Amino acid sequence: MQFRKKYVVILLLACTVTLLVAALPSRKEKFKNLKVLPENISSKDLSRVMIDDFEDGLGVSCAFCHAQETDSLRLDYASDAKPEKQIARRMMQMTIGINRKFFNLKHPKIGDSTLVISCITCHNGQPRPGDETK
Protein backbone atom coordinates (compact mmCIF):
# COMPACT_ATOMS: atom_id res chain seq x y z
CA MET A 1 0.00 0.00 0.00
CA GLN A 2 2.84 2.34 1.03
CA PHE A 3 4.63 1.45 -2.20
CA ARG A 4 1.57 2.36 -4.31
CA LYS A 5 1.17 5.73 -2.53
CA LYS A 6 4.77 6.56 -3.40
CA TYR A 7 4.04 5.94 -7.08
CA VAL A 8 0.92 8.10 -6.97
CA VAL A 9 2.91 10.97 -5.42
CA ILE A 10 5.65 10.65 -8.06
CA LEU A 11 3.03 10.58 -10.82
CA LEU A 12 1.32 13.68 -9.47
CA LEU A 13 4.64 15.52 -9.24
CA ALA A 14 5.50 14.55 -12.81
CA CYS A 15 2.11 15.82 -14.02
CA THR A 16 2.56 19.09 -12.13
CA VAL A 17 6.01 19.67 -13.64
CA THR A 18 4.69 18.88 -17.13
CA LEU A 19 1.83 21.34 -16.74
CA LEU A 20 4.14 24.04 -15.38
CA VAL A 21 6.52 23.63 -18.32
CA ALA A 22 3.61 23.80 -20.75
CA ALA A 23 2.36 26.97 -19.09
CA LEU A 24 5.72 28.76 -19.40
CA PRO A 25 6.01 31.27 -22.22
CA SER A 26 7.04 29.47 -25.36
CA ARG A 27 10.45 30.02 -26.90
CA LYS A 28 10.48 33.02 -29.17
CA GLU A 29 9.88 32.19 -32.79
CA LYS A 30 12.85 32.09 -35.13
CA PHE A 31 12.34 34.01 -38.32
CA LYS A 32 14.56 33.46 -41.32
CA ASN A 33 16.95 35.97 -42.78
CA LEU A 34 16.59 38.78 -40.24
CA LYS A 35 19.67 40.98 -40.57
CA VAL A 36 18.83 44.19 -38.74
CA LEU A 37 15.92 43.18 -36.52
CA PRO A 38 16.96 40.77 -33.75
CA GLU A 39 16.88 37.09 -34.75
CA ASN A 40 14.98 36.15 -31.62
CA ILE A 41 12.31 38.85 -32.02
CA SER A 42 8.84 37.67 -31.02
CA SER A 43 6.07 37.29 -33.57
CA LYS A 44 4.19 40.12 -31.88
CA ASP A 45 7.13 42.54 -31.93
CA LEU A 46 7.95 41.70 -35.53
CA SER A 47 4.35 42.17 -36.63
CA ARG A 48 4.15 45.45 -34.75
CA VAL A 49 7.23 46.79 -36.59
CA MET A 50 5.79 45.68 -39.92
CA ILE A 51 2.38 47.27 -39.27
CA ASP A 52 3.22 50.39 -37.26
CA ASP A 53 6.54 51.36 -38.82
CA PHE A 54 6.23 50.18 -42.38
CA GLU A 55 2.56 49.77 -43.29
CA ASP A 56 1.30 52.85 -41.45
CA GLY A 57 4.54 54.85 -41.62
CA LEU A 58 5.04 54.44 -45.36
CA GLY A 59 1.45 53.71 -46.44
CA VAL A 60 2.46 50.44 -48.09
CA SER A 61 1.42 46.82 -47.86
CA CYS A 62 3.60 43.75 -47.28
CA ALA A 63 4.17 43.18 -51.01
CA PHE A 64 5.98 46.51 -51.27
CA CYS A 65 9.14 44.93 -49.82
CA HIS A 66 8.40 41.20 -49.75
CA ALA A 67 8.61 39.12 -52.92
CA GLN A 68 6.12 36.45 -53.87
CA GLU A 69 6.94 32.76 -53.77
CA THR A 70 8.20 31.55 -57.13
CA ASP A 71 5.26 29.18 -57.67
CA SER A 72 2.39 31.12 -56.09
CA LEU A 73 1.09 34.58 -55.28
CA ARG A 74 1.84 34.14 -51.58
CA LEU A 75 4.62 36.10 -49.97
CA ASP A 76 8.01 34.59 -49.30
CA TYR A 77 8.94 36.68 -46.28
CA ALA A 78 12.52 35.41 -46.17
CA SER A 79 13.30 36.19 -49.78
CA ASP A 80 15.62 39.10 -50.66
CA ALA A 81 14.43 39.20 -54.27
CA LYS A 82 13.02 42.72 -54.03
CA PRO A 83 15.50 45.61 -53.73
CA GLU A 84 13.01 47.46 -51.53
CA LYS A 85 13.72 45.00 -48.74
CA GLN A 86 17.42 45.81 -48.77
CA ILE A 87 16.61 49.52 -48.81
CA ALA A 88 14.33 48.99 -45.79
CA ARG A 89 17.22 47.36 -43.93
CA ARG A 90 19.49 50.33 -44.69
CA MET A 91 16.76 52.70 -43.57
CA MET A 92 16.41 50.85 -40.27
CA GLN A 93 20.17 51.05 -39.73
CA MET A 94 20.07 54.75 -40.55
CA THR A 95 17.20 55.33 -38.10
CA ILE A 96 19.04 53.49 -35.33
CA GLY A 97 22.18 55.48 -36.10
CA ILE A 98 20.40 58.86 -36.01
CA ASN A 99 18.77 58.06 -32.68
CA ARG A 100 22.08 56.92 -31.21
CA LYS A 101 24.27 59.69 -32.61
CA PHE A 102 22.05 62.74 -32.41
CA PHE A 103 19.63 61.86 -29.64
CA ASN A 104 21.97 59.96 -27.35
CA LEU A 105 19.84 56.83 -27.10
CA LYS A 106 22.13 54.06 -25.88
CA HIS A 107 20.31 51.06 -27.31
CA PRO A 108 17.84 52.28 -29.92
CA LYS A 109 15.64 49.54 -31.39
CA ILE A 110 13.24 49.74 -34.33
CA GLY A 111 9.72 49.62 -32.97
CA ASP A 112 10.73 51.01 -29.59
CA SER A 113 8.43 53.79 -28.44
CA THR A 114 11.41 55.72 -27.01
CA LEU A 115 12.84 56.42 -30.47
CA VAL A 116 12.97 60.12 -31.22
CA ILE A 117 13.14 59.55 -34.97
CA SER A 118 11.18 56.74 -36.56
CA CYS A 119 10.05 55.89 -40.11
CA ILE A 120 6.97 58.09 -40.00
CA THR A 121 9.00 61.14 -38.97
CA CYS A 122 10.12 61.60 -42.57
CA HIS A 123 7.87 59.28 -44.56
CA ASN A 124 4.56 60.56 -43.15
CA GLY A 125 2.57 57.86 -44.89
CA GLN A 126 4.51 58.05 -48.16
CA PRO A 127 6.75 55.33 -49.62
CA ARG A 128 9.24 58.01 -50.58
CA PRO A 129 9.42 61.10 -48.38
CA GLY A 130 8.16 64.19 -50.17
CA ASP A 131 6.70 62.19 -53.04
CA GLU A 132 3.12 63.45 -53.20
CA THR A 133 2.34 61.49 -56.34
CA LYS A 134 3.21 58.19 -54.66
Partner 1 sequence: MKKDDLIPFDQNDDGIDRAGFLKCMAWAGTGLFCLMSGGVLKSYGMSQIIDKTTGRIKKDIQIEKADFSFAQISDSHIGFNKPANPDVVATLQASISKINAMPTAPSFVLHTGDLSHLAQADEFDTLDQAMKSAKTGRIFYVPGEHDVLNDNGKQYLQRYGKDSKGSGWYSFDFNGVRFIGLVNVIDTAEGGLGVLGNEQLNWLENDVKGLSSSTPIVVFAHIPLWAVYPQWGWGTRDSAQALSYLKRFGSVSVLNGHIHQTLQKVEGNITFHTATSTAFPQPQPGAAPSAGPMKVPAEQLRNLLGITTVSYIEHNHTLAVTDIPLSNSDEKQPEHQ
Nearer to partner 1, 56 or 80 (CB): 56
Q: Least Å distance between CB 26 and partner 1?
A: 10
84 binds partner 1 (CB under 8 A): no
The correct pick among 34, 37, 68, 84 for binding partner 1 (CB under 8 A) is 68
The correct pick among 34, 37, 55, 122 for binding partner 1 (CB under 8 A) is 55
The correct pick among 48, 105, 112, 117 for binding partner 1 (CB under 8 A) is 48
Query: What number of CA atoms fall less than 13 Å from residue 58's CA on the CB side?
Result: 19
72 binds partner 1 (CB under 8 A): yes
62 binds partner 1 (CB under 8 A): yes
Q: Kindly give the residue spans of alpha helices, DSSP state H, lying in the chain.
A: 2-23, 43-48, 57-58, 83-103, 119-123
Contact indicator for 129, 56 with CB cutoff of 8 Å: no
- CA–CA gap between residue 134 and residue 123 (Å, rounded): 11
The correct pick among 12, 51, 78, 116 for binding partner 1 (CB under 8 A) is 51
Query: What number of CA atoms fall less than 13 Å from residue 72's CA on the CB side?
Result: 3
